[in-house]
């Protein structure tokens, strides 16, 4: 049975989903004074489990609040749908960035991408020094996923999910997957594998490519030793004997020195800001169309020619492009039929299950953006959904 929250929860309004797959959902909302927060819910779990996970998150975030870990702004664990609000203005998670790189092919240099690892390691090292006064245990994650890394509109990074258990798609330390409690060593393991999974999204230096591919030469010996240390001590080491996060960070600093750079934090923030830009540039001007209006969509949605002849690239905006393709496919296969909000949500954000009001907001923002970009009245509200005007010819070329 689908849980229907009030409109919306507590003092929070205008929910827009950040990540809504798996047990925990993250929504960007505004409070009554217009301040942005991230509201965390577990709408599809049983009430006891939802409250337990959110209570753990609230407690851990109150303990660990500081640089890159948001504080708890408010909570209501007794509400019909329990929730916790975090004091940060995140608009997306790291998956938006990997999607941007995957589609655009514009991989950031390793010096920029390394700032992600630097931030994660420094933040986790700080958290590991904090002890829960009741259990005496360090504040840890025990796992790591793209959903644990939220991004603000200015490119600021936030690490979330402490105390709530693994998120959907997380790398989980084996002892945590077997039911053990998160530990600093588990964080070191999960973070190492997580960062390695992101390497193909970056422009790696040639020496690093040689070492990782098993083709190192004599001059690569010091760098090779760092990777071997990581394999033996972290990935193959006994959980109780893994190095600390501080020791792992020091090895990373040695690697950066060998490669001749310091992590480019500001450069990476600029990459994040670019990846998060919501609206593409306005269509290029074009001579007035002499014939009837038409809509042309090429490259599976990467290129759009608006009815007035303007040209627009949508290649880097995955959800926007996918929604447009779904509308175009519906127009070419069953002209005049409208797609429902659920159908557009599935097309734009596969695997996501946001609560209804948030889903409506997300789709409305996307439809509004497409109209502003030049579709205008061609994108019609129809029969409880949306469609492209069947009176306007639509030429669609699949990828």
Range from 165-169, 244-248, 311-315, 387-391 that averages highest in pLDDT = 244-248
| Cβ atoms within 10 Å of 303's Cβ, excluding its own | 16
Give the integer Cα–Cα distance in Å for 212 and 34.
Answer: 48
Asked if 372 contacts 279 with a C-beta cutoff of 8 angstroms, the reply is yes
Taking residues 306-324, report their average pLDDT.
80
State the average pLDDT over residues 160-187: 96
Tell me what pLDDT residue 315 has: 64
Of 183, 196, 210, nearest to 117 by C-alpha is 196
Residue burial 363-397, b: 16+ Cβ < 10 Å; e: rest: beebbebbeebbbeebbbeeeebbbbbeebebebe
Question: In the chain, what are the domains?
Answer: 13-86 (3.30.200.20), 92-275 (1.10.510.10), 278-396 (1.10.10.10)
The 10s digit of each residue's pLDDT in 281-309 is 555 555 555 556 788 888 777 778 888 77
The C-alpha angle 270, 167, 149, rounded to 5 degrees, equals: 15
| pTM, rounded to two decimals | 0.88
Cα of 352 vs its chain's centroid, Å: 12
Within the chain, what is the greatest distance between any pair of CA atoms? Answer: 75
Task: Tell me what the mean pLDDT of segment 372-396 comes to.
Answer: 88
- Helical residues (DSSP H) of the chain, grouped into ranges: 47-64, 94-104, 110-128, 174-177, 184-197, 206-212, 221-229, 245-259, 265-276, 318-333, 341-348, 356-370
Question: Residue 306 carries which DSSP code?
Answer: -
pLDDT at 319: 86
> Does pLDDT of 256 surpass 80?
yes
Displacement of CA 174 from its chain's centroid (Å): 24
pLDDT tens-digit series, residues 16-27: 999 999 999 999
> Do 97 and 83 meet the contact criterion of CB atoms below 8 Å apart?
no
Please state the rounded mean pLDDT for residues 158-171.
96
Percent of the chain with pLDDT over 70: 93
Confidence of residue 239 (pLDDT cuts 50, 70, 90): very high
**Strands 394-396 and 295-298, how do they pair?**
parallel
């Amino acid at each position: 049975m689908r849980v229907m929250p009030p409109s919306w929860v507590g003092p929070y309004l205008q929910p827009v989903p950040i990540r809504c797959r798996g047990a925990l959902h993250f929504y960007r909302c505004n409070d009554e004074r217009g301040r942005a927060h991230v509201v965390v819910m577990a709408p599809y779990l049983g009430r006891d489990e939802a409250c337990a996970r959110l209570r753990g998150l609230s407690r851990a975030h109150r303990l660990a609040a500081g640089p890159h870990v948001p504080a708890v702004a408010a909570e209501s664990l007794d509400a019909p749908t329990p929730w916790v609000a975090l004091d940060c203005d995140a608009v997306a998670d790291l998956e938006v960035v990997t999607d941007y790189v995957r589609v655009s092919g514009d991989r950031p240099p390793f010096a920029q991408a390394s700032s992600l690892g630097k931030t994660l390691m420094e933040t986790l090292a700080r958290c590991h020094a904090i002890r829960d006064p009741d259990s005496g245990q360090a504040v840890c994650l025990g796992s790591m996923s793209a959903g644990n890394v939220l991004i603000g509109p200015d490119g600021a990074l936030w690490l979330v999910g402490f105390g709530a258990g693994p998120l959907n798609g997380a790398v989980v330390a084996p002892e945590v997957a077997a039911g053990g409690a998160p530990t600093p060593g588990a964080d070191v393991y999960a973070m190492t594998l997580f960062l390695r999974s992101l390497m193909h999204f970056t422009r790696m230096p040639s020496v690093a490519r040689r070492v990782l591919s098993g083709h190192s030469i004599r001059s690569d010996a010091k760098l090779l030793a760092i990777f071997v240390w990581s394999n033996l001590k972290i990935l193959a080491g006994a959980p109780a004997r893994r190095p600390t996060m501080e020791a792992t960070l020091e090895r990373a600093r040695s690697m950066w020195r060998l490669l001749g750079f310091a992590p480019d934090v500001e450069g990476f923030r600029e990459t994040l800001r670019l990846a998060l830009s919501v609206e593409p540039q306005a269509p290029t001007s074009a001579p007035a169309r002499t014939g009837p209006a038409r809509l042309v969509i090429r490259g599976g949605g990467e290129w759009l020619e608006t009815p007035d002849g303007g040209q627009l690239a949508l290649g880097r905006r995955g959800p926007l492009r996918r929604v447009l393709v779904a509308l175009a496919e519906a127009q070419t296969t069953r002209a005049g039929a409208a797609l429902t909000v659920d159908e557009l949500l599935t097309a734009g954000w596969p695997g996501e299950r946001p609560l209804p009001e948030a889903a409506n907001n997300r789709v409305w923002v996307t439809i509004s953006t497409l109209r502003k970009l030049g579709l205008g009245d061609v994108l019609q509200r129809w029969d409880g959904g949306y469609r492209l005007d069947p009176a306007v010819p639509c030429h669609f070329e699949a990828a």
